[in-house]
Amino acid sequence: MRDPDCVFCSIIAGELPADLVVETEDLVGFLDQRPVFKGHVLLVPRQHVVTLPDLPAALRDPFLATAQRLATAVVDALGAQGSFVAINNVVSQSVPHLHLHVVPRTKGDGLRGFFWPRTKYDDGERAAYAARLREALG
């Protein structure tokens, strides 16, 4: 199922560009267009699901397993010391399609609480970050 007005559904369908990091039969992970830190990945189900409580039971384990792999990949591929993993449900959910954030973290990176400053990629840099993460995922 797809919502024709959903940005993430359009990315999944290949109608909008994105730097893909991981693809499975049920899930897609791609770099956030406005990352908190470079390498910030969004993991989404291919099926249009609005919030975590709406996620079908059959997708719960694959969704979390892929999130675990991404949390490891940002450390292995990007030299991060850890990661911040989060899901917003309705409030602060900028796109009404379930998405899990995996943000690479290092001590002293400036992230405080839930104030998320955003950064930008330089030309061509986003594709290089996506390639590094894909390599770490195997």
Instruction: Give catalytic residues, as residue numbers.
Output: 99
Compute the distance between CA of residue 111 and CA of residue 48 in angstroms, rounded to an integer. Answer: 30
User: Please, what is the Cα angle at 131 between 129 and 137, to 5 degrees?
Assistant: 105
Compute the distance between CA of residue 98 and CA of residue 77 in angstroms, rounded to an integer. Answer: 25
The crossing angle, in degrees rounded to 10, of helices 57-78 and 125-137 is 110
Compute the distance between CA of residue 9 and CA of residue 89 in angstroms, rounded to an integer. Answer: 17
Phi/psi of residue 61, each to 5°?
Answer: -65, -45
- Six-digit token string for 119: 């950064």
